[in-house]
Structure 1
Amino acid sequence: MQNQTMVYNKLQNKKSELPFSVKVSPQETGAMIVDLAAVQKNYQTFEKHIAPTTIAPVVKANAYGLGMIPVCEALANVGAKEFFVATIDEGIALKKAMPGVVVYVLYGIFADTIDVFFEHQLVPVLNTVEQIERWNKFAGEKQVKLPAVIHFDTGMSRTGLTAKEVEWLMGNQHILSSLDLHYVMSHLACSEVPDHPMNTKQKDTFQRFAEAFPGVKRSLAASTLMKTDSSANHDMARLGYGLYGFCYDTPAIQLTNCLHVYSRIVQLRDSVPGDTVGYGANYVVEKAGRLATLSIGYADGYHRFLHNYKTYVYIGPYKAYLAGRISMDFCVVDVSHVPEDYLYEGAWVEMIGEHIRVADLVTGTDFVPHEVPISLGNRYIRHYLPG
């Protein structure tokens, strides 16, 4: 018993280190490591696969939770010159950090944001006839050609000109007289299912619309379609979650995981048959073992639904399954089989990384892979491995 106590005390005083050359402060209870070289490699993999099509990285939502500015700087170093964001504020932040790049704003232009677009040299994605008229009129008043992208809605009923609006625009192209159209674009509803008939329908509709604007470059493909259908690549493809390695590989596209997320062991406890774990007491321990409470919960983007899908983590080389419901700040895993050398307060635990890709985490669920990193909160400090 005395020897066991000595081992226990020794482990409790052990300092844990991440398997990366990043400086982590002692008080950090969660760490997120972004491998910028992996992001660059994925960009170059897609670039080689779809050449000569231009790639425009999609960096909305803080580059899918990874950190927009560090990611964009790394991508610019390997040739990226055009980027897509969702909001004006995202666009302003990117232009301030990297004034030489072209930034397209998907939300389009409102009556009270015209001056903001002009001041910060942002390029609006124009989604309605009213937006086109508004931007064209402003350009005429300034006596300059202003850049723009026109978005056709070919089947999502989300954003973009409706078929009726496109037909009208075909016959009224004088309202484009002061615009420098960089691209016409659309977005597919079912690209994750390559043989879905909606893909063919939308591609045909886009082709018909685009032909009415000769000489204007085209953009249709996003991450999934870039891997499976070269006919949709056109002049420019918008690379989103594939850039970060969040989607599954194909024989032609082998992606590199760029995201590593670690929590820490907050507490260890022995368990006996009949013990219950977590809210609802719906997890009942069947045999004696050990449990570890980890410093991650749904406040950190580790969604509550995960406990329903045999989700696991890695402690060293050992897989450990969730036990009970995920709460706001904690989750619990069964570590009965994990050697004592790996079990001590403060030990780092892999949630996403070498053994667990983001796509693996959501397999069998109704969630898409990039929901997880986008949801990771500010309690998880972003650290970067250089590109």
Structure 2
Amino acid sequence: MAPAPRTASELVIDLAAVRANWRRLGESAPGAQVAAMVKADAYGLGAIPVVQALADEGCTEFFVAEVSEGIELREALPEVDIFVLAGAQTGTTEELIAHDLAPVLISAEQIERWTLLSGGRPNRLRCSLHLDTGMNRTGLDAVETAALLADTSKLQQLEVVHVMSHLASADDPDTTQNEHQLAAYHRIRAGLPMGVASLANTPGIALGPAYHFDHVRPGIGLYGCDPSPGKRLGLQPVVHLRAPVLQVRTVAAGETIGYRATHTTARERRVATIGVGYGDGFLRAQSGRGRVAFDGHAAPIVGRVSMDLITVDISDLPTDIVVTAGSTAELIGPTITIDDVAAAADTISYEILTSLGRRYRRLITDEPTAAG
């Protein structure tokens, strides 16, 4: 039988799985410190409860994208180390200092700005350095890096915690870019031996010990998504998304379903309308491509995803699965994984997580399983 009726879509966030994934990632990078990427509200799952859970596990370093995220975390967790990936941007330095946030310095200009603020203080200001090794997004570029390597005295007034770079294609072990970036990082590290060496994100951990150095910075892996080939990291799912069936109807052969009549039934079908849509972050790109599940059996989305509703063809479900108004559909879970959803929407699991909307009733659990 279908699960018990629910009155609203429900997003379940399993903190015990987040904890287990952090431990597992540490086991995959033995000897390296494991920090946590919690930017974008912990990839949409809620930064404060995630950080509290990981701090309980022993994680001491957390990375956010911008100062406002860091301030929110600092107010809830006064003892942890928080690093801001945007660095020491103009207009943010006073807040960085006031809230004990360490910038990840991404340019020569930022190094100079932070150095001027650090000079004359009894304790040097803390920071990390981000040097670009081939992603061409943020970080000191090749010219700035060469100048810094030629005169490392520019860092004398700073307490450098990490010397970092970021892998562009770590989820593709066959590309030569990983090796090129690794070689470039070794050259940089030889000239900047201060602090700890940090290169690997989640897929970088899966590339093996050569990429681990002293420190790894997983993000997506904490939240149950394994971008490595063959899912070799062995991570636990964190997110479960369920939504109620609002109505079930019989649609005759030759009828159309949804906006712009994009789906026409070839024969009589049973169609369930489910209360979720792109207004909840259920991407419209899943129209006619995605699936949901009932009791472990998948059923295809037919017609377009609309703001509040999707329509699903339930005709081919086993006869012992009875779907009625009030039944519950699995949108993300053991049958329909986040990677399945991402593939159907022609995107990546990162976007699926960070798009999860605020209309869901959010339930946070923290009960370890036998596997955890």
Q: In which range does the TM-score fall when normalised by the shorter chain?
A: over 0.9
Matched to 1:81, the amino acid is T
Q: Distance in 2 between matches of 1:345 and 1:64?
A: 32
5+ residue gaps, structure 1, are: 1-10, 18-25
Task: Kindly indicate whether residue 203 of structure 2 is the aligned counterpart of residue 214 of structure 1.
Answer: no
Match of 1:344 in 2: 324
1:177, 1:299 → 2: CA distance? 51
Q: Per-residue CA shift, 1:124-164, capped at 9, x if unaligned?
A: 00001110110111011434301100100111111000010
CA deviations over 1:70-105 (Å, ceiling 9, x no partner): 111111111111011101111111111111110111
Counterpart of 1:103 (choices 68, 82, 86) is: 82
User: Are residue 16 (structure 1) and residue 16 (structure 2) matched?
Assistant: no
User: 2:165 & 2:288 partners in 1: Cα distance?
Assistant: 36
- Contact 1:67-1:382 within 8 A present in 2 as well: no
Match of 2:149 in 1: 170
Residue 18 of structure 2 corresponds to residue 39 of structure 1: yes
- Counterparts of 2:172 and 2:321 in 1: how far apart (Å)? 45
User: CA RMSD, aligned part only?
Assistant: 1.9
Code of the residue aligned with 2:313 in structure 1: it is D
Mapping 1:264-275, distance limit 5 Å: 264-275=244-255
TM-score, normalised via structure 2 length: 0.93
How many residues are paired up? 364
- Aligned pair partner of 1:299 in 279, 299, 306: 279
Q: Deviation per CA, 1:10-31, whole angstroms, max 9, x where unpaired? A: x9xx9615xxxxxxxx4xx211
Give 1:296 deviation, angstroms. 1.1
Residue identity matched to 2:12: I
CA distance in 2, matches of 1:251, 1:132: 39
Say if 2:202 and 2:227, in contact at 8 Å, map to a contact too: no
Aligned to 2:31: 52
In structure 1, how many angstroms separate the alpha carbons of the residues matched to 2:114 and 2:322?
A: 60
> For residues 159 and 251 of structure 1, do their structure 2 counterparts lie closer, same or farther at Cα, with a shift above 3 Å needed?
closer
Would the aligned equivalents of 1:57 and 1:84 in 2 still touch at CA under 8 Å?
yes
Alpha-carbon distance in structure 2 between the residues aligned to 1:328 and 1:375? 14
- Map Cα deviations across residues 182-209 of structure 1 (whole Å, 9 max, x no partner): 0110111111111211111111111111
CA contact (8 A) 1:126 1:148 kept: yes
Q: Partners of 2:320 and 2:167 in 1: how far apart? A: 51
Q: Which residue of 1 aligns with 2:261?
A: 281
**Structure 1: distance between partners of 2:335 and 2:297:** 10
What corresponds to 2:349 in structure 1?
369
Structure 2 unaligned runs (5+)?
Answer: 368-372
In structure 1, how many angstroms separate the alpha carbons of the residues matched to 2:361 and 2:4?
A: 19
Report the residue type matching 2:358 in the other structure: N
Does the CA contact (< 8 Å) of 1:271 and 1:289 recur in 2?
yes
Secondary structure, counterpart of 1:215 in structure 2: coil
Give the match for residue 242 of structure 1. Answer: 221
